[in-house]
């Protein structure tokens, strides 16, 4: 305990660094506000303020950061559209036909992964998307990508013979 009373600024800095580790693990910007308070307490300790005043400064700055700064940061972080993950993130992406795709099936490569696929062409049609053709993912149905020609005006789909 003697070292902490002799070096209060370093003790506050150590507390701030420990809180920063918790922030990295939680990523919720709560502990980051406490880090700011700990660093303010370190600054108060460095200028020679008594320990009770250091605590008041640390608590005051933490409270101010939590009530004023954190809401602003959270709005900025969550300002964009929600981040899509999994299959939902694939909808609208480009793909390349690996095996001929018809309404019955086929294979496409999406972001380096080969997926089973079927085209959006109506049932009973003999039109197919041929290997190497660019396609766009319209939806995901289970483990099957439903695709359509990426640019229907650039290339005519091939008729199956």
pLDDT at 39 (0 to 100):
96
Looking at per-residue pLDDT, the higher value among 27 and 110 belongs to 110
Percent over 70 (pLDDT), the chain = 88
pLDDT at 136 (0 to 100):
93
Kindly report the average pLDDT of the chain as a whole number.
87
Q: Which residues of 38-66 are buried (b: 16+ CB within 10 A; e: fewer)?
A: bbbbbbbbeeebeeeebeebbeebbeebb
Strand, coil or helix: 148: strand
Contacts of residue 148, Cβ cutoff 8 Å, sequence gap at least 6: 119, 120, 121, 135, 136, 138
153 pLDDT above the threshold of 60: no
**80 touches 130 (CB < 8 A):** no
Domain 86-151 in CATH 2.40.50.140: yes
Q: What are the residue boundaries of the structural domains of the chain, listed by start? A: 2-77, 86-151
pLDDT in tens, 77-134: 888 767 777 888 889 999 999 999 998 899 999 989 999 999 986 555 557 899 999 9
pLDDT in tens, 2-12: 777 788 999 99
The DSSP secondary-structure symbol of 151 reads -
């Amino acid at each position: 305990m003697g070292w902490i009373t002799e070096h209060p600024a370093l003790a506050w800095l150590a507390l701030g660094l420990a809180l920063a580790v918790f922030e990295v693990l939680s990523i919720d910007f709560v502990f980051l506000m406490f880090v700011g308070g700990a660093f303010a307490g370190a600054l108060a300790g460095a200028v020679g303020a008594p320990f009770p005043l250091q605590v008041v400064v640390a608590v005051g700055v933490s409270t101010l950061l939590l009530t004023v700064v954190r809401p602003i940061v959270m709005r900025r972080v969550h300002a964009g559209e929600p981040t899509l993950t999994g299959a939902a993130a694939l909808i609208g992406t480009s793909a390349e036909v690996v095996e001929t795709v018809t309404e019955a099936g086929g294979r496409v490569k999406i972001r380096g992964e080969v997926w089973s696929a079927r085209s959006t062409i109506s049932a009973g049609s003999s039109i197919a998307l041929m290997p190497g053709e660019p396609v766009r993912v319209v939806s995901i149905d289970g483990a099957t990508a439903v695709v359509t020609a990426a640019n229907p005006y650039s290339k005519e789909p091939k008729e199956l013979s």
